[in-house]
Chains A and B, each alone.
Chain A
Amino acid sequence: MVSIKSSWKVFQKHISPAAVATALAAIICAVILFIPPINGYADNGDFYRAMLSNGIYRLPTKDNQYIGYVVTKFGILKYFNENNVAVFSSQALFVKAAVILNKLLYSHRYFDIRFLGIVYYVAFLPGIYLLTKALTGTWRRIRSYVIAILVVLIFADASFILYFNSFFAEPGMLISFLYVVGSLILLARGDYSKRWKLLLSYFISVVVLITSKQQNAPLALSFGVMSVGLFFLPGLKKAKKLAVMGGVVATLGAGVLTYSLINKEFNDVNQYQSFSHGVLMETGDPSKNIAKSGLSEQFALMREQDYYAKTFDTVDPSSHYIRKHLIGKYNFAWIIKYYARNTDQFLRLLDVASKDIMVTQVKAVGDYTKDSGKKAGQQSTFFTLYSSLAGAFFPGKYAFLCLLAITFVAVYAVSAYIDFVAGRLFGVVRFFLILGLMSICVFVPIVSIIGDGDADLAKHLFMVPLSLDFTFIMFISDILNHQLWLTEQEEDGDA
């Protein structure tokens, strides 16, 4: 008994909860990504955006390279890359790093997707360390190690990690979000004397996150809300206050820049699908409704049509006729006005968006390579406990999401008020963080429905389950740390 206690003491002394979380995440992610049969996500048709602009192309094969199986080998363009940057994205930073690494260690002609996996893997682990450190503070109690294990269970879930072996932009979002939340909580705790490093990490991560995908542009507002807490940092001199202000402006600027760089085609795709997958959905016969709003009722027949037809389509949405008589005749203001007149339909659409909000594993594509011997489209089940449970039991109602948001904001408002009155920082910063996270949960479904209808919902709503996960882990760790309402640090009991 004594030896167990003394071993525990030695363990506590030498290995922090953050180190435990990082080590566990490193092992689990390595098993998923690099140990055969390797896992990842197959291409749903979106990979070209990240591939072409970074000089990577598909090697010609007899087999279909989409949907069914993960493809590991790609070609690297030898000469000048004439492809324009399809989409402006910070994802290019990760892909370019992976190409350099690939050229150094493997080949100048062929690209192995696992090098991208390595880049994400290396960036991901410090994020896990940072978050665990932020959530456990300086404590090394048993419950601190419980928090560390929960962090691994939630954020190293295979549904997230599978993204690493793919050209999707989501890994960059997950990783930068870890840094954002980790840096902000650590700043709030005030345990580090050199705050500028954390501030820099926070703002850089925010900009990377916002610029990783076009639909993240509106999130600049949520991150702006999160950043408000930084103005409560004690002892901020005028220059530093200006620096923080500059960071907030950069955050908002990144949003505006990302939005303004959405190219015409991308805009047309979103606008078209916000009509065919939004305005025309969840209603009986939309013919007369759209006629009332000034469009030809014939366009009601486009219900459920994708801009890029999966197989066949009646007409090409990019044709001159459709652009002139449909896409050119409405805009997002028209859509908002339409939903304002048809609120029941909009609420039904929000429920559709909320239905599978916690199902984070991409079900439309396979997770294995062809030589693994698995069936096309087969899903990996290794280390998916959290996503499976959350996906199965989280109620799929938008109203529930709103109530949850109000509840969390109210709960954290208490400590924010107490800390504000007492002149402490932690509760205030944490409150703005929760407020920002909850605003993502409430507004992203609305923006997604208005911006692209119910098309690709799982990917558009990626930030919602992630924000909920951060809120859940903060809530649990605050309860375990006895800091939910009273943030004054108690003395280490079992440290």
Chain B
Amino acid sequence: MVTVNGQQEVNVAGKSVAQFLSDRQAPIENIVVEVNGNIVHHSEFDTTILKTTDKVELISFVGGGR
């Protein structure tokens, strides 16, 4: 199972990072994705496929105010 923020998750392996984030309804533009300690850049979301041994960390940001 793929590990996401320390939790093992089913139905993630085999998906692209883009599909994985879309399934979680995550706000893609506010998130930085790390897989096995390396940042997956936004331009690589479609082509990076998650494997069962992968450890994914989602670094997400919330807004301030103008």
Asked if A and B bind, the verdict is no
A interface list, Cβ under 8 A from B: none
B interface list, Cβ under 8 A from A: none
